[in-house]
Amino acid sequence: MNNRENMLRAARFEQPERIPISVGISEGCWDHYSQDALQELMAAHRLLFPGFKPTKDKITPDCVPWRRAGQPYTDSWGCVWETAETGVTGAVVKHALADWDAFSAYRPPSPEQHNGWCPIDWPSIREGTSKWRKKGGLTCGSLRHGHTFLTLTYLRGYENLMFDMCDDHPQLPALIAMVEQFNRGLVERFVAAGVEWMSYPEDLGMQQGPMLSPDQFRRYIKPTYERLVAPARQAGCVIHMHSDGDIRELAGDLIDVGVAVINLQDLVNGIAWMEANLKGRLCIDLDIDRQSVTRFGTPAQIDAHIRNAVERLGSRAGGLMLNSGLYPGVPLENIRALMDAMEKYSQHFS
């Protein structure tokens, strides 16, 4: 069973061969750690890094411009970004529509030419998708992280947007419709390119609770989500969503929208809560903790944490994936423990 089939089976509860696992190494790690040590870890974990070949050459990751420290970047919407650490997306320092007076003259980007961050090359995407499908790979499309709610905050500023929602600002529906129309154009183009997995990444949660009330989400954001998901669902795509933070109050709404796979954080939402409220209802793409256990725990605690998650959320039928994002600061012995445990317990139900 290849990785494509295994992923689809896990998402659809069709008895995958193993739990799909992944570790993403952020760009800053290659300057923070010994490159030889990182490569040794990758070479030792073939399930996580299939086909990886160590090199003696210095690895310099190609970092997208909005994740480059000291270089302000203007995105497709005209919002200016800055980050203090290469490899980490920073924050908007200039909101394109901080003042509603600018709205009448404002022109949004075109989905034919932009993806929200930068220019997009649809002929290359269609060609790449076709080639990958012929090789047996899982063909995927994705809106940019923060495609709807967060884009509204990038344009208006978070506090401004919250006041807009509370005040029922008369121009807010038109702004939401503008953002939706742009994203709908992207979704339709990905579907036309033949993707079978469509991702809708957007952080909705804080450390405690969501960034907007459930009522605000249902009024202003959920209807847009439903319309953005519809073309991909109709084409038979797996609908994947990512959100950082505590989204427990919104999880039922996301299921209503049609999300089939949800990538959410483990400790901030709680393994027990997920077991009681999500297990079996949709596939849980579990984001392994990077705030406490992985960063400050022992290798034994990391192993126990991942085992507990697998035993409580997994099943032979599927419905569980594990992923982790690696950023500078995690001890190397903890990185090894994380990778060891993910590979070991990915075969727990085999």
Q: Under 8 Å CB-to-CB from 20, ≥6 apart: which residues?
A: 3, 6, 7, 10, 321, 322, 346
Task: Assign 29 a pLDDT band (cuts: 50, 70, 90).
Answer: very high
> At residue 350, does pLDDT exceed 80?
no
Q: What is the pLDDT of residue 55?
A: 93
Q: 111-120: per-residue pLDDT in tens?
A: 999 999 999 9
Q: What is the pLDDT of residue 1?
A: 85
Q: What is the pLDDT of residue 349?
A: 87
pTM: 0.95
Q: Is residue 144 part of a domain?
A: yes
Query: What percent of the chain is modeled with pLDDT above 70?
Result: 100
Distances (CA, A) of 245 to 45, 81, 208, 263, 268: 29, 22, 7, 11, 6
Q: Under 8 Å CB-to-CB from 195, ≥6 apart: which residues?
A: 129, 139, 140, 141, 232, 237
Q: 327-340: per-residue pLDDT in tens?
A: 999 999 999 999 99
Q: Is residue 266 part of a domain?
A: yes
Query: What percent of the chain is modeled with pLDDT above 90?
Result: 97
For all residues of the chain together, what is the average pLDDT?
A: 97
| pLDDT mean over 99-110 | 97
Q: Is residue 350 part of a domain?
A: no
Task: Assign 249 a pLDDT band (cuts: 50, 70, 90).
Answer: very high
| pLDDT mean over 129-143 | 97
Number of structural domains (the chain) is 1
Q: What token pair was written down for 344?
A: 């070991």
Q: What is the pLDDT of residue 104?
A: 96
**Cα–Cα nearest to 77, from 64, 88, 63, 66:** 66
CA distance 173 to 176: 5
| pLDDT mean over 224-234 | 98
> At residue 242, does pLDDT exceed 90?
yes
Q: Under 8 Å CB-to-CB from 281, ≥6 apart: which residues?
A: 255
CATH code: domain of residue 25: 3.20.20.210
Q: 40-52: per-residue pLDDT in tens?
A: 999 999 999 998 9
Q: Residue 86: give the domain boundaries.
A: 3-345
Q: Is residue 93 part of a domain?
A: yes
Q: Is residue 233 part of a domain?
A: yes
Task: Assign 30 a pLDDT band (cuts: 50, 70, 90).
Answer: very high
CA dihedral in degrees (31, 35, 40, 43; nearest 10)? 80
**Cα–Cα nearest to 258, from 277, 286, 235, 288:** 235
